[in-house]
A and B are shown apart, each in its own frame.
Chain A
Amino acid sequence: GAVVSQHPSWVICKSGTSVKIECRSLDFQATTMFWYRQFPKQSLMLMATSNEGSKATYEQGVEKDKFLINHASLTLSTLTVTSAHPEDSSFYICSAPIAGGPGPSYNEQFFGPGTRLTVL
């Protein structure tokens, strides 16, 4: 199947610093990518939809100025957590869809391995 990678796999930073997380589709192009956040023992929560060549769409309650998303190419989306604080510590996962299957609604989503962010 298709491969989505994330870098770094884990990062520890001091409070107040900014952290950039990369999401790459390795063997396919993705005009859309999704960013999720997952707290311990909870399910994934969609933060934003990253759109190549246009602005990201943020879910309600997600601060767009704090979580900057840039979809610079058809294979790369980046999430920058600005002025990170301990409450931003979480597991961040991206995904990218591929259309296919018996119909246009059958788009499969491939998830990256996730990035563990710890803010001290």
Chain B
Amino acid sequence: KNQVEQSPQSLIILEGKNCTLQCNYTVSPFSNLRWYKQDTGRGPVSLTIMTFSENTKSNGRYTATLDADTKQSSLHITASQLSDSASYICVVSAGGTSYGKLTFGQGTILTVHP
């Protein structure tokens, strides 16, 4: 069964600090992995998308890494801001006959305090 698991479930940090969110997946065959940011009451917004050949990708203060061998990904947020408070969702897209089908992680709720 295709699964995406994220940790921690929630995280509280102070403004200006860095943090790293984790994602483990068992989706097969693998097509690509995405990280989304979802503000409360809003739809998810894409941060990064990586195929198996991409080890790292940055989008401003967000840097995602991917280890396709261990099926792990991380999202590193640098110099956090209050506006970073949101749910961060790891999503894996399947290939093969399940092409394009997305498997969602449960999300990590990040709260940034002043």
A interface, CB within 8 angstroms of B: 1, 4, 6, 32, 34, 41-46, 91, 93, 95, 97, 101-103, 105-114, 116
| A101 near B49: Cβ-Cβ < 8 Å | yes
Which one, B32, B41, B101, B106, contacts A43 given CB within 8 A?
A: B106
User: Closest A-chain residue to B107, C-beta based?
Assistant: A43
Number of A-B contacts (CB under 8 A): 54
| B41 near A42: Cβ-Cβ < 8 Å | no
Could you give, for residues 72-114 of chain B, a 1 whenever the CB lies within 8 Å of some chain A CB and a 0 otherwise?
Answer: 0000000000000000010001010001111011110100000
Verify if B1 is at the interface (C-beta below 8 Å from A): no
- Please name the 9 residue pairs, one residue from A and one from B, whose CB atoms are nearest each other, closest first: A111-B43, A105-B31, A43-B104, A43-B106, A114-B43, A113-B43, A111-B44, A93-B43, A44-B104
Q: How far is the CA of A105 from the CA of B101 in the complex (A)?
A: 11
| B44 near A107: Cβ-Cβ < 8 Å | no
Verify if B26 is at the interface (C-beta below 8 Å from A): no
| A105 near B99: Cβ-Cβ < 8 Å | yes
Residues of chain A within 8 A (CB-CB) of B43 are 4, 6, 93, 95, 111-114
Number of interface residues of B (CB under 8 A): 24
Q: How far is the CA of A109 from the CA of B34 in the complex (A)?
A: 10
Q: How far is the CA of A108 from the CA of B31 in the complex (A)?
A: 12
Tell me how far the C-beta of A25 lies from the nearest C-beta in chain B, rounded to whole angstroms: 13
- Known A-B contacts A109-B46, A113-B42, A114-B41; the reply to A46 vs B32 at CB < 8 A is no
Residues of chain B within 8 A (CB-CB) of A111 are 36, 43-45
Verify if B22 is at the interface (C-beta below 8 Å from A): no
Tell me how far the C-beta of B8 lies from the nearest C-beta in chain A, rounded to whole angstroms: 14
| B106 near A42: Cβ-Cβ < 8 Å | yes
| B99 near A110: Cβ-Cβ < 8 Å | no
Sample (27) of A-B pairs whose CB atoms are under 8 Å apart: A1-B46, A4-B43, A32-B100, A41-B109, A42-B106, A43-B106, A43-B107, A44-B44, A46-B101, A93-B43, A95-B43, A97-B100, A101-B49, A102-B51, A103-B51, A105-B31, A105-B32, A105-B51, A105-B93, A106-B32, A106-B49, A108-B46, A110-B46, A111-B43, A111-B44, A112-B43, A114-B43
